[in-house]
Amino acid sequence: MNISIKIMVIALIMSFFYNAFAGEDKYSFARKWYYNKNKTVIKYEIIVEKNPIQTQATKSVEPYWRIGPENLPVTEDQCYKNNFEVWLPEDEGYGNYRPCLQYGPQEITYDQNKNKLYFAVASSSVGVTGIGERFIFAADLNKKEIIQLGLIDGPPERYALSPNGQYLAFSYDNKITILDTLSRKRMDVLKKNVIIKTYHEMHFLDKIHWIDDNHFTFLYYIHDDYTNSSRIFENTYDVLLQEITHIQKIQNNVN
């Protein structure tokens, strides 16, 4: 085989691989911080790179998309209702105000099938304990559009996305919040703690596991502080019925 034929064969093979994968764009995500002169974080954003290997090869400077707090769909009314007032010195021209967002987004998960990135932004009501409202957003990487899915009451670290990508569920303390990514409807599963003089019972919901597109299981812990014992149940939740359909005891009197 002469050199020209070899080059043609190699070119055909390369063309085949390029055509086979050209429609499957790849994305990478990174977080970038911005500091003031006192080295305090004043903002950060998610940097989205499209086909990062090709971007590096072409030495592109500007990333595919920058997701920061300044262009998020949050209304002034939401900022007013879901944030605490912050007081700053009036002689410096601040007065009191209600800052809506703290710094910028925190990645939750990426749905590769729908090419959507889900992320959270803490409101200024979130304190050092981590308690407070978080805004949840969905970024469509194809359209470069962001929609707000709603608010959750705790940190977004414990989450589970349904197999079809329609429901995003979060668990924190004694509550589970499910957000419908299509209708933006919110559903809550709440187990109230029992705190009285002679009895102190704490409830915890954790470990969400989707069985199918409309059902998930979670663990329900009941802890008695006085006897230092716990009971553990596995519950099954139906998002269409919006109710627990099955309860199974896992453990009892765990010290």
pLDDT in tens, the chain (255 residues): 554 444 343 333 333 333 333 347 888 998 888 777 877 766 788 999 988 765 555 555 789 999 987 778 887 777 666 555 444 444 444 444 445 676 668 899 999 999 999 999 887 767 655 667 888 999 999 999 999 999 898 888 899 999 999 999 999 889 999 999 999 999 999 988 877 766 788 899 999 999 999 999 999 999 887 777 889 999 999 999 999 999 999 876 655
pTM comes to 0.76
CB-based contacts of 146: which residues, under 8 Å, 6+ apart? 67, 71, 72, 73, 137, 138, 139, 140
CB 50 within 8 A of CB 56: no
How far is residue 141's CA from residue 150's CA, in Å, rounded to a whole number?
A: 19
Q: First CA to last CA across the chain, in angstroms? A: 76
Nearest Cα to Cα of residue 150 among 94, 114, 188:
188
Domain ranges of the chain: 26-157, 179-255
Sheet holding 116-122, edge to edge: 106-111, 116-122, 134-140, 145-152
Tally of residues, the chain: 255
Distances (CA, A) of 4 to 7, 14, 15, 180: 5, 15, 16, 57
Percent of the chain as helix, strand, coil, to the nearest 5: 15, 50, 35
What is the Cα–Cα distance from 120 to 107, expressed in whole angstroms? 6
